[in-house]
Amino acid sequence: MTLLNLPIPPEVKMIYLDNGATSFPKPQVVYERMDTFYRSAGVNPGRSGFDLCLEAGALVDDTRHLLCDFFGRTNPTRMVFSYNSTDALNLAIWGSLQPGDHVVTTHLEHNATLRPLWKHEQEGSPVDWVDFDGTGYVDPQEVIRRFRPDTKACVLNHASNVIGTVQDAATIGAACRERGIRFILDVSQSAGMVPVKMGELNADIVCFTGHKSLMGPMGIGGMYVREGVELRRTRAGGTGVKSVQRQHLDEYPYRMEYGTPNLPGIAGLHAGVTWVNQLGLATIHHHEMTLWRQLRDGLRDIEGVTLYCAEDISGRERISVLSFNVEGLEAADVGTMLDVDHNIACRTGLHCTPMVHEHLGTAVHGAVRFGIGAFNHEAHIQAAIEGVREIAAAGRRRAGKVAAGASA
């Protein structure tokens, strides 16, 4: 299978390796679809009966159907739109938990999950936190061993945004289903990179964002709530239907949606997911992981570079993010040098995952993260390797001068 070699828009002047934060650039069809649809039919969907309103409503319905198919489901009314994954996870977590409910989660979680669950814990409710091993994977049996009679939910980050490991959601989900525990799966990083079929993963709720590997814009995301799973409403507001009703609606998707939807975002998400489907997940993943291994192997050979959980483990999946540090230099300084001296965009710091960095021993200054996307080329990878090589050599020279000065 050959690499994609997708054309880079002329407006993009730098080497972009921050796809773990958001995919960039987007496919041209995403920009065009958002612009043309909003210009021609950018009206409030579902609030009246004129033609443009019906056209806008049809886009919303079509996107629900498209996402249902993408996640292996068939009931579009259970596909709920939100602002992003953080919004969806808050709806799912607070719609599932009552004070005192026990929750099991992991050290791999993003702050989108950590902060709601820390709040739940600070208010006196029990939360079990399961660590990952030296290769970056959580032992599903350890998660299952933490289940108790009062466990209400298990929340899992499907793919780490720091170390790229994809967790065994299917085994954990099956154990949850057997015990009547709600399984909430954060697929922010995995959706659009690896298959995410709810039935195969035994998930009750999947929470996703549109702006990462689904190739949509920022400001749109959602969740699919499995049939038979009911979330408690935590907000109330306009829905455009049954306006005389004084309480927020019970039926999905309106039960968990509030106010005017992000129509340009939905248009862009529809175009992005369609583009991913046409290109094929397997083709995209092969491209990204081929480049990831080239990057991993190149950085691993550089003196003074430490990689985190970057080994291929037989039978385990991963996605194309790679985190590292350069000896003698803070991550933020490496990121600045990559930007200023080498025209390369990366992400530095804690990546909204403080527990991951506590485990890695990088909680003070974090790490440097490269995120590879569909629009990256082999030349980008070689430039990144050479950039880090030069930075590491400069770090060694500086360390040598410091040591010489100290001994003088």
Residue-wise pLDDT for 169-187, tens only, equals 999 999 999 999 999 999 9
What residue spans define the domains of the chain? Answer: 28-278, 280-401
Mean pLDDT of the region 370-383: 98
**47-51 CB contacts, 8 Å cutoff, 24+ apart:** 47/240
Q: What is the pLDDT of residues 207-260, one digit of tens each?
A: 999 999 999 999 999 999 999 999 999 988 888 787 778 888 889 999 989 999
- Residue length of the chain: 408
Percent of the chain clearing pLDDT 90 (strictly above) = 90
pLDDT of residue 406: 60
Asked if residues 126 and 103 have their Cβ atoms less than 8 Å apart, the reply is: yes
Q: For residue 375, what are its two tokens?
A: 């629009």
Mean pLDDT of the region 372-399: 95
Sheet containing 221-225, strands listed edge to edge, beginning at the edge strand earlier in sequence:
79-82, 221-225, 205-209, 182-186, 151-157, 102-106, 127-130
Lowest mean pLDDT among 126-135, 175-184, 275-284, 392-401: 392-401
pLDDT of residue 244: 75
**Please, is 376 exposed, middle or buried when counting C-beta atoms within 10 Å of its C-beta (0-12, 13-18, 19+)?**
buried
Q: What is the pLDDT of residues 23-66, one digit of tens each?
A: 999 999 999 999 999 999 999 997 778 999 999 999 999 999 99
d(CA 43, CA 28): 23
Beta bridge partners of 325: 306
Query: What CATH class does 28-278 carry?
Result: alpha beta
- In this prediction, residue 402 has a pLDDT band, given cuts at 50, 70 and 90, of low
Q: Is the torsion defined by CA of 199, 201, 205, 209 positive or negative?
A: negative
Q: What residues contact 274, with CB distance under 8 A and at least 6 apart?
A: 29, 66
Sheet containing 367-371, strands listed edge to edge, beginning at the edge strand earlier in sequence:
305-307, 321-326, 367-371, 347-349
Percent of the chain clearing pLDDT 70 (strictly above) = 98
d(CA 14, CA 31): 19
d(CA 79, CA 205): 10
- In this prediction, residue 404 has a pLDDT band, given cuts at 50, 70 and 90, of low
d(CA 172, CA 50): 48
pTM reported for the whole predicted model: 0.96
Q: For residue 380, what are its two tokens?
A: 């980008």
Hey, which CATH number is domain 280-401, 1.10.1040.10, 3.30.70.100, 3.90.1150.10, 3.40.640.10?
3.90.1150.10
Asked if residues 98 and 124 have their Cβ atoms less than 8 Å apart, the reply is: no
156-161-162-164 Cα dihedral, nearest 10 degrees = 80
pLDDT of residue 407 exceeding 70: no
pLDDT of residue 403 exceeding 60: no
Place of tokens 């039960």: 255
Q: Do domains 28-278 and 280-401 have the same CATH topology?
A: no
Q: For residue 78, what are its two tokens?
A: 């259970």
Give helix then strand counts, H and E, for the chain. Answer: 12, 13
Residue 105, helix vs strand vs coil = strand
Look over the chain and give the mean of its residue pLDDT values, rounded to a whole number: 95
pLDDT of residue 231: 97
pLDDT of residue 401 exceeding 80: no
Mean pLDDT of the region 152-156: 99
Asked if residues 82 and 222 have their Cβ atoms less than 8 Å apart, the reply is: yes
- In this prediction, residue 395 has a pLDDT band, given cuts at 50, 70 and 90, of confident
Taking alpha carbons only, the member of 185, 373, 347 closest to residue 272 is: 373
DSSP secondary structure of 349-400 = E-TT-HHHHHHHT-TTT-EEEEE--TT--HHHHHHHHHHHHHHHHHHHHHHH
- In this prediction, residue 124 has a pLDDT band, given cuts at 50, 70 and 90, of very high
Q: For residue 213, what are its two tokens?
A: 């590997």
Place of tokens 């170390």: 163
pLDDT of residue 291 exceeding 70: yes
Beta bridge partners of 127: 103
Q: From the centroid of its chain, how far is CA 267?
A: 20
Q: Spell out a b/e string for 392-405, using b for 16 or more CB atoms within 10 Å of the CB, else e.
A: beebbeeeeeeeee
Mean pLDDT of the region 339-357: 98
d(CA 272, CA 367): 30
Residue 294, helix vs strand vs coil = helix
pLDDT of residue 122: 98
